[in-house]
Amino acid sequence: MPSLRSRALSAALIAAGRRRRFGSAEAVRTRVAESMRRPASHLPPRSLGRVAEVSRTFVGAWPVYEVSPLGVEPAARVLYVHGGGYINELVRAHWSLIRTLVTQAQARVVVPAYILAPRGTADRTVPVAADLLSGLIASGGAGGTVLLGDSAGAGLALAAAQRLRDRNGAQPSRIVLISPWLDVSMSHPDQAAIEAGDPMLARPGLREAGRLYAGNLAADDPRVSPLHGSFAGLAPLTVFTGTRDVLSTDSRELLAKARAAGAEVEFIEEPGLPHDYPLLPVPEGRAARDRIVELVRAAAAES
């Protein structure tokens, strides 16, 4: 049974019409057109500068933020890839998670504000993300590297890890996926029933966002939908999902495919919790964030 706070938040999301953002292909196209006319900010909140050192560089056209603990040598490295259906920028909930990683895990967090669809398509985006991951792993220093992503960012993160494995076999210490979107076709037969109770997401808009991100690639190309890629040779995975998330089918399919390929998977599925619950201000979200901090600290202990 989900906590009272979780149930209240899900009810509030439904009442606020949160799911309408992905309620239709037209809604997504309208949102994308508005974003192209007036791009949203991906800047970190000013308050983050009181507890962390924040800098920004560019990798090609990508702004890339680096957030490190104040006055302390970072114990581990994290590449964090944000969600948003490939069409939305970093938001406050993402920066809040980054703050937690910096202050509680003493991590150096690298945060790409990658180019959004339809300008940013998988064929262009995945190689750059793989390069960032490769550079972070190779940068050396104490501790290991954790690859972390939520929602669409988790899909991009997994695709980058698969590409890097194929390139030279390199992997981070661990891959952490929060409510991952791994198959943009939205074709799993169980999704219709789950969608009816999902307070945040709907299939029509997700299909359109996935189409924009795919560009000229097929929806089942592993760069677009890494669920169709190989799971052999990947770093140990930790996956968080909730049963009120229409994308939970992707997490369950990942579990089966990864274990069949011999990959190590820690699978955490919370009954009655919505999409991206580890980012939400609910008890289950706090427990998930505590577990992510533990995983980063474990990576920090690596030599």
In angstroms, what is the C-alpha Rg of the chain? 18
Q: Is 21 strand, coil or helix?
A: helix
Q: Confirm whether 42 is a catalytic residue.
A: no
Length of the chain: 303
Helices (H), 76-198: 92-105, 122-138, 152-168, 191-195
Q: Which of 150, 198, 245, 276 is catalytic?
A: 245
Best CA proximity match to 58, nearest among 45, 42, 77: 42
Active-site annotation holds for 303: no
Structure tokens at 234: 């990947």
Q: For residues 198 and 102, what is the distance between their CA atoms, to the nearest angstrom? A: 31
Strands of the chain, DSSP E? 52-59, 62-69, 76-81, 107-112, 145-150, 174-178, 237-242, 265-270
Torsion angle of the four alpha carbons 142, 101, 51, 49, in this order, in degrees rounded to the nearest 10: 100
Q: How far apart are CA 151 and CA 167, in angstroms?
A: 25
Is 82 in the active site? no
Which of 10, 151, 225, 251 is flagged as catalytic? Answer: 151
If phi > 0 it is left, if psi is from -120 to 50 it is alpha, else beta; for residue 184 that is alpha
Q: Which helix (H) or strand (E) holds 283?
A: helix 283-300
Catalytic residue among 82, 94, 188, 275: 275
* Calpha distance 280→130 (Å, rounded): 28
Residue in 96, 97, 21, 128 with CA at minimum distance from that of residue 296: 97
- Could you give the residue numbers annotated as active site? 151, 245, 275
